[in-house]
Structure 1
């Protein structure tokens, strides 16, 4: 297990565990959480400037991993980790096949167009 504590852009620490990497998220409200990604996606995910954090969603009774974009003209967007990894477009629904919403490894999604 390799612990990395200095990144150029992504501010979260992470642990590389072979083919899976855990993004470590320290939440004042929910404690330490881990968002799992495929190690092959680490370069893409860590290239975003900012901090990944968890957001509890009452509608699913679970957490999503997300990052806020910088403020521009009084607005900012939310980037959901699973949608970012898949480059999903508006109108695409991405489901976590194993129902573990913080598990964002390759092959753990079902993707379909919303109707």
Structure 2
């Protein structure tokens, strides 16, 4: 489906789809999991931990940031990442409401 068709869906549907797309890559899940266990994290920490090249990690971090799940602050020349707690809570609520409202008794 092309991006031009997103207007026919609700903002909630589009938001859930964007979040799901970000979470659909195992490297991004690993990055979020690692960062969530740290006080803060720089890209080189992730390169060492995840085992992907720095440009690849940076691309994944940018995709995660686009949906608002990460905050970043500069410490010297390094950008330190942490989980955006407020946005994370909102995403949890969105996903929970989606799964809770699924009718498992059909068919």
Query: Which structure shows the higher strand fraction?
Result: 1
For the pair shown, the structure with the greater C-alpha radius of gyration is 2
TM-score when normalising by structure 2? 0.26
Query: Which structure shows the higher helix fraction?
Result: 2
